[in-house]
Chains A and B, each alone.
Chain A
Amino acid sequence: MRRLIVVASALLLLVLIGITWQASRRVKPIALVPSLTGKVEYCLTCHSNLPEISKSHPVKTFGCVICHGGQPLALDATLAHSTLRGGANPADYSVVQANCGGSNCHSGSATTYSDDIQRSTTSIQDTYAGAIATIRYTFGAQPSLRALYGTSAVQDPSSTSGITSLQMFDPKKETNPAVQAFGQNCLTCHLSAVPSQAGSRYDHFTGCAACHTPTQAADLTSVNTKTATLVHQLTTAIPYTQCDACHNRGNYDLRSMTFQPRSDTPNTRLQDYYQPIAQFTSCEYNLDCVDCHTRSEAMGNGSLYSREKDIQYIQCQTCHGTLTQLPLTRTLSDPNDLAFRLAQLNPVVDLQLGDTILVTDQGEPLWNTRVLPDGTYELVGKVTGQVFNFKPVMGSGCLQDPNDQSSAACHQCHSVQR
């Protein structure tokens, strides 16, 4: 009996030592109480080395959970991540409303410029309506190029484009084998596609992150790049390489309805730029895509469209004017002008009330431009910060017909030979 008590005492001590050892190994939680939620979260215990995602989303204010979900008080990784919304991509469109929405955030009203989710989820980059309509029309499945289908069913009763709804494209309902093959092989290139496998080359190329979370890989177009190095960053300074990752990664072969990855390894920015067969003026490839193309062109304006071209309206004349007309400008007199909001997000220019900037024919501010006192213009690269000075066409020796302002016409004289 005595021996049994000694053994039991030894066991009790062993158990207590084990518990003490386990407790001593437990990480000391790093608590954060974000000012927006006022609720403690321990995510920084493991993630304190992550850089601030953007100056608009400081971790002290937002914390992690409001955008990512997860268990804020868990110190075990599996438990902490068990309720993440969208995994490592909280901006995937399947969860974007829960993570990025809200009237003060990205699903507010157009008047406060915070309707980003509504606009981008009806944009051609998400609906893929143009590609679907083109393929169905090409193979005789519909009578015109007018979009009837999108990647999901969308309604837009107040459409300004004339298209008030899109039905969901279902390849199984198609009878033409080519359209079926398109549905099978070619529906991965839109913002609400099923995300690629984590760590794969196109991981994170869905939702807002597809554009606003640039990858570190500079040569995503190269066949040698198998994975994208992700960074914890949200930015409006989107480098052309990010656009290239989708828009210049190769082409679809219409005969086999398969994707043919780009096989060359571009060495220069000119070779690397959008569509190797296209012609470029030097400003087109020296600038980044976002230097000219506006948020409405890229993210849509809330209406449904049949083709990319229907919402793409930036032309050479937007900045350069024509022989008979100077480009459109606006002198900033309202502190609530969208130009200030956009410049605040990416402060490559110090925009001031009274500055005169170029605007598109839709009235969108080209906030990174300025009309200089001598009548010339200045554009600051949104990604590079490089300053470009340029003149209006009016008064120059340009021979172009003012009524023909397609880029092809300008390329006749101004393209750079590759």
Chain B
Amino acid sequence: MNQAPISRRDFLRWVRDGLLTISGLLGLAGLLRFLAYQSQPAPQTEFILAAPADYAPGSRTLLPQVPALLVRTPAGFSAYSLICPHLGCTVDPQSDGFICPCHGSRFDLQGQLTHGPAARSLTTLRLETAPDGKLHLFTN
């Protein structure tokens, strides 16, 4: 069966339609990329920890993702931020407390300032037991 030759008009229409389709797809992809752009997420301020029973009485648990220290005493739970209140470096735990590797501020095991240059103790963080039965730690 003989096929009718493509007319010049049809050819130009196909080329036009093809070009416009590809352009449309590219434009659409750009638009989707623009709409899907996520700006820098706000820093996390709530951290979900394990259930209280998972922390042994008298335990001191480092939470590097915060960074913080979770302490369980007979009186309950407490948590200290490991961010040095001087300039914001992360303090290193020692056997007798914490030391800031940047400028040498020292804190005792309860996070209390023992010597500067920091001017105050480590910040105590808020802890709550949520309905899911887990401890939630807040840094804000």
Whether A56 sits at the interface, judged by CB under 8 Å, is yes
**B19, B102, B104, B115: the one within 8 Å of A13 (CB):** B19
Which of A1-53 touch B at CB < 8 Å? 2-3, 5-6, 9-10, 12-13, 16-17, 19-20, 23, 31, 33-36, 38, 40
Chain A residues near B103 (CB-CB < 8 A): 56, 341, 344
B106 in contact with A335 (CB, 8 Å): yes
Whether A61 sits at the interface, judged by CB under 8 Å, is yes
Knowing A16-B26, A36-B88 touch, does A2 contact B102 (C-beta < 8 A)? no
Whether B2 sits at the interface, judged by CB under 8 Å, is no
A336 in contact with B116 (CB, 8 Å): yes
Whether A104 sits at the interface, judged by CB under 8 Å, is yes
Which of A56-89 touch B at CB < 8 Å? 56-58, 61-62
Knowing A12-B23, A19-B30 touch, does A56 contact B15 (C-beta < 8 A)? no
C-alpha gap A61/B114 in the complex (Å): 22
Chain B residues near A61 (CB-CB < 8 A): 87-90, 102
Whether A362 sits at the interface, judged by CB under 8 Å, is no
Whether A97 sits at the interface, judged by CB under 8 Å, is no
Chain B residues near A3 (CB-CB < 8 A): 12
Return the chain A residue nearest B15 by Cβ: A6
Chain A: minimal CB distance from B86 (Å): 7
Provide the main secondary structure of the chain B interface: mixed
A344 in contact with B104 (CB, 8 Å): yes
Chain B: minimal CB distance from A111 (Å): 10
Whether B126 sits at the interface, judged by CB under 8 Å, is no
Whether A55 sits at the interface, judged by CB under 8 Å, is yes
Contact with A along B43-63 (1 / 0, CB 8 A): 100000000000000000000
Whether B133 sits at the interface, judged by CB under 8 Å, is no
The total of chain A residues at the interface (CB under 8 A) is 37
B117 in contact with A13 (CB, 8 Å): no
A341 in contact with B23 (CB, 8 Å): no
Chain B: minimal CB distance from A329 (Å): 22
A336 in contact with B88 (CB, 8 Å): no
A16 in contact with B23 (CB, 8 Å): yes
**A36, A57, A336: the one within 8 Å of B115 (CB):** A336
A9 in contact with B23 (CB, 8 Å): yes
B43 in contact with A6 (CB, 8 Å): no
Which of B1-48 touch A at CB < 8 Å? 9, 12-13, 15-16, 19-20, 22-23, 26-27, 29-30, 40, 43
Contact with B along A334-348 (1 / 0, CB 8 A): 011000110011000
Return the chain A residue nearest B86 by Cβ: A104
Whether B83 sits at the interface, judged by CB under 8 Å, is yes
C-alpha gap A23/B22 in the complex (Å): 17
C-alpha gap A104/B23 in the complex (Å): 56
Chain B residues near A114 (CB-CB < 8 A): 117
**B9, B29, B88: the one within 8 Å of A35 (CB):** B88
Whether A197 sits at the interface, judged by CB under 8 Å, is no
A33 in contact with B19 (CB, 8 Å): no
Knowing A2-B12, A35-B83, A36-B88 touch, does A341 contact B102 (C-beta < 8 A)? no
A-B contacts, 11 listed (Cβ < 8 Å) = A5-B16, A6-B15, A6-B16, A12-B20, A13-B19, A16-B26, A16-B30, A35-B89, A55-B102, A61-B89, A104-B86
Given contacts A9-B16, A16-B30, A33-B43, 20 further A-B contacts (CB under 8 A): A2-B9, A2-B13, A3-B12, A6-B15, A9-B19, A12-B20, A13-B23, A16-B26, A16-B27, A17-B26, A20-B30, A33-B40, A35-B89, A55-B102, A58-B89, A61-B87, A61-B90, A104-B87, A112-B117, A345-B104
